[in-house]
Structure 1
Amino acid sequence: MARPRTAPKRKVKRAVDAFAARKAVLYARVSTADQEREGFSIPAQIKLLQEYAALNDINVVSEHIDVETAKKAGRTEFEAMLAYLRRHPTVRIILVEKTDRLYRNFKDYVTLDELDVEVHLVKEGVVLSAESRSSEKFMHGIKVLMAKNYIDNLSEEARKGMNEKAAQGYWPTLAPLGYRNVRNDVGKKVIEIDPETAPIIVQLFDLCGTGNYSMKELAGKARELGLKYRRSGKPVGTSTLLYVLRNRIYTGSYEWNGKLYRGLHAPIISLETWENAQEIIDGRSAANLRAKPVEFTYTGLMTCGHCGCAIVAELKKKKYIYYHCTGFKGKCPEPYVRQEILDTYFENVLARLRLDDEVFGLVQRALREGHADERRDREARKEKLIAEASQLQDRLDMIYLDKVEGRITAEFHDRISVTWRDERARAIRGLELLSNADDAYVDDSIALLDVVRTAHKGFADMAVGHKRRALNLVLSNCSWADGSLSVGFREPFGMLEELSKNALLLGGQISTAGDCHDSLVTPTGIEPDFGDTTGDRRGNKPLFFNSQLALDYPPLP
C-alpha cells in the first residue's frame, strides 16, 4: 500500500526581531580629567542619551566613556567601542551627544564611515547613515573639520601657558635625564636634580670634553654606567645621548621656542663644561656639512599609476623641475613631466571646489546657527567657573582675616590657602581657554572653506609650502599615468565637489526653500540627487583629467 503523500514543508524565513535590530552602543566623552571630576559633562551626556533611547525604542547594549583628549586617535573606550561593533554586526547604531564628542580628527571619521553604522547626534537632532542626503553629509563633514580646528585652538592655548611658565624660569614639560619632576613647597610643578642619573650625566660630559670618544663610543659608556630611559628601562641610544649633550638645561639655562631663559632649577654642570662639549661635537660634524635640500611641490603627494612607486622630482640645469617614477619595481614606461604641467592639472582639480557667494553665505549661516547649542554650553561652563573662582577668592580673603586676627595659625593658613589658590588658578585657566576659544574655531573653519573654494585662483604663483598644505588638506591618493592625473578628495571636500558639480549642471544656482536653511536645494526646490559615486571605502572620489597640454618646454637634457 502506497504511503500517503504529505504536503511539503515550507521554509519559513525568520522574521527579524525589530527590537534586536534597534540595538545601539552609547558613547560619551570629556576632554579633560578636570571636567570629569567636576561632574557636569559625563552624567548629563548619559542621561540625555538614555532618555533618547527610551523614547525611540532603542536598546543600549554597551556603554563606552572616555575621559581624555581626542587630539590623537587611539582613545581607549573609543577603540573598545569599535571592537564591539566589529564583533556584533547586529548592532549598527551609535548614540552620542554631538559631533565633537564622537570624533575630533578625520581618522575617526573615516573609521566609522567604513563600519557603515547609523550615528545619532542627539543634541544636534541629526541621524547620519548611508542613506543620508549628500547635503547632510557635507554639513557633517564641515562640523568634523570645525571640531578639529577647535581642539587645535585649545592646544594653542596650552602652548601659551607653557610659554608663560618657561618665561617665569620653570621648565614647562617632562624633566630631561638627570632631573625629575616634583612639586615645590607651594605646590607648583618644578624639576630638581635626580640623584641617580645626574652623576652619570656629569661623567658623560667630562668624557665628551676629552675629545677621545666618538658619539657611538660615548653611547656605549652611557650603557655601561647604567643610563636608561625612564619608562621602558632600556639603555639610551646614540641619538638620545646627542640630545643630552646638546641640551643647555644642565647649565641652569634652557632654550624654549627659540628663546633663552634662565631657569630656577639647580645646574648639574658648569657653562664652561657644556661649551667645551659643544666645541668637540661641532668639530666632529664639521666635515659632514650638506647642502640645503631643494623643496619640491609635489614630492610625496603622488604615486605612479603604472606600478605604484613614488613620483619624485629632479632639478635640471638648476631651473627646470621634472617629475618621474622612481622605477623601484622595475623599468616604468611613464615619461618625465614638467612641474608647470602638473601645476595646471592641480589648478583644474581645485577649480572643481567652488561655491558662489550666495551658497557660501548659506553654508556659513547654517554652521553658525548649528553651533548655537555649543555656545550655550560654553557660556554655562564659563558661569560655573566664574562662580567657583569668586567663591574661592572669598574663602582666601576670609582665611587671611582669620590669620590676621589670630583665630588661626599662620601654618594652618599657608597649608589651606595653597590648595585654594591652585583650585582658583585652575578655574581661571579654564575660563581663559573657554573665552579665547569661544567662536574662533567656527570663524577659522569658515575662513578655511572660503580659502579652499578660491584656491585655484593664482595657484601656480603660490609659495611651495602653501601649495603643499592646500593639497594635503584637500586631496589624497593622487596618481599620475599616461599624462593623466587621478585624485581623490578628502571629506568633506569630496561632498563639496559633488555639490559644486551638481550646482553647475542645474544652472549654477542653489537657493533656500523657506526656512530650511540647513538643507541645500536646487532652484526647483528639490534636493539634488548625487546618486551613487565610485571611489574607495574612505569616500575619495576619483577624478581623471586626460587632456594633453601642448606647452613649449625645452627638451630633457
Structure 2
Amino acid sequence: MTTTAPTLTALDPEADGKPMLLAVSYLRVSTREQAERGGTEEGFSIPAQREANHRKADELGARVVREFVDAGESARSADRDGLQEMLAFIAATRVTFCIVHKLDRLARNRADDVKIHEALISAGVTLVSATESIDQTPSGMLVHGIMSSIAEFYSRNLATEVTKGLTQKVAQGGTPMRAPIGYLNVRKTDENGREIRTVEVDPDRAPLIRWAFEHYAEGETSVTGLLRDLTARGLLTVPTPKRPSKPLGKNTLYKLLTNPYYAGVIRYKGALYPGAHDPIVEPVLFDKVQSLLKARTAKMTRHVQHAHHLKGLLHCGTCGSRMLLDFATNPRGVTYAYFICSGRAAKKTTCTRRAVPVAVAERLVADSYANITINDTAYQRIAADVDAAFDKRNTGQDQELADLTANRARLESESDKLLAAHFADAIDLDTLKRHQDRIRAGLADVNRRLSEHSEHHTGGRAFLHDSLRLLTDAHHAYKYSGDTDRRIANQAFYTRLDITDDEQLRPTLAEPFATIFREAHDSGDEGKEAKREHSTSFDVACSRKTLWVG
C-alpha cells in the first residue's frame, strides 16, 4: 500500500528560500492480526511507526513525500509490494533519506539487507532508522551489519519457537490454526486476567455442517447438489473485518467433507492428533462420508433419463434378450409405443417375438403385484418366524462382537502410545505417519465389520419386517404410485420380468421377497399346525435395497 504526499521531484524550496530535503517512509507489520488489531484497518503498530518516522524526518529537516506500507508481510522475503514500489520510486526520484522505524522492518535476511542497501546507495539515498543510531560511516555500517544479522537470527529463531509452540499445542489437543467453518475462535479471560484462546462450536453453523455430513452419507446426492441445498438453507462463511459472509464454493465444501477436524481429530503436518474441541460429527459418520467420496470419481456421472418406468426391466420370454422401448407412427401421424425383442431387432437371434404394446406390458406388471400380496394371517405368522430366526442367529454372536470391540480398543491405545512417543521425541514424524496409516486401516476394517454386524442383525431384522409390510399392500400401492416409484418397486421386488409369446408375465422375485412369498405358500391351509424348522428360512442376504413405500 502506498500513501502519496504532495508531489515533489527535487529539493523543495521553503518560504525562507532554504531547500528542503526529501524522504520516503517505509512501514511494516508482520501479521494480519497486527495489521487489524484494534478493529481498524491499520491496527496499532503502523500509526506508531508513522509518527516516529515523521519525527525523525523533522529532526533531519526533511519532508516525507511518499509513504510505503506492507501490512501483514514478513521481512524474511524481499518480495513485498510496498518495498518493491519504494525501490522503484527512489530509483526514479531524487530522494535523500529512506526512513524506517527499525532496520528489521526493512529486512530480516542478511542477503536481502545487503541487496536493499546497495539499491539505496546506488540511488544516492541514505538509510535512516527512527529508533537506532546508525549512519554511513564504517563504524555505522558495521553496526548496521550486526543489527541485520541479529534481526535474521531473531526471525529464524522465532519461526522455530513458533513451530515448537504449535506442536506442543497440538499435543495438548489445541487447534494450531484458524478453526474451520462450524467453529468459532474465542478469546476469554481467566480469573487471573490472562487471555485464553479456545475453540467453540458455532451454534448457527454447526447444525448445518452436521446435516451436510448426514445428508451426503445417505448416498443420494453429489457434492454439487449438497452445495445447492446448503446454500438454500443459509450456510455462509464467518465474516471478517475485510471479508463479508458469502456462500461456500464447491472446493471449500469438498475440503469441509474431508476435514477430520469435524470428527474431533486435528491434521497437522500430515499427522493426525486427537483434538480437545467438541466434534460435530461421529467418527463412524465421517468415515462413511470418506468412503462415498472415494467411491465417486471426479468425472461427473451422466444421468440417464428413462422414458418409461419399465424400460430396461423387461426380457423376451422366447429368447431371453432384453426388450427395448420403441415407437411407431401410423399414416395418420399417431405414435404408438412398443416393447420389442432386442435379439430380433439386432438379428442376434432367430427369435420371432412380436412387439408388445406398452399398455399390455404395464397391465401385466401391475397385475403381478396382486399375485404376490399376502394376507394379514400370513404376515403375522411370517413376522414371528423372522424374529425367531434372528433370535437364533444372534446366539453365539456376542463373542465375535466382544472380540471386535477389544481389537478396536487395542488399536486406539496403540495410536495414543505412538503420539506420546512422538511428543517425547522417541520417534520421528515419518515413523508416526507410517504407523498411523497402518492403525487407521486396521480401525477402518474393525469399524466396517462392526457396522456390518449391526447391519446384518439389527438392520436385517428391520429390513425383513419392512418387506413384509410392503407385501401386505403391494398391489394397491403400485396401482396408485407414479412412474418413478413404480420403477423403484420393480427393481426392489423383481430380478427379472419375462413376457412370453402368448403375452403372459413370468416374474422372478428378488430376495427377501422370494423367501417370504415361498414361506407364505409353503404353509398350506391357514389352520395347518405342522411345526417347521426356521433356522435357515430367513437367513437371506439383506442387501438393503431401496425400499418402495408407495
Instruction: Judge same fold: TM > 0.5, yes or no.
Output: no
Q: Pick 1 or 2: higher relative contact order, CA cutoff 8 A, min separation 6.
A: 1
TM-score bracket for this pair, using the shorter chain length: 0.3 to 0.5
Return the index of the structure with the highest Cα Rg: 2
- Give the TM-score taking structure 1 as reference length: 0.38
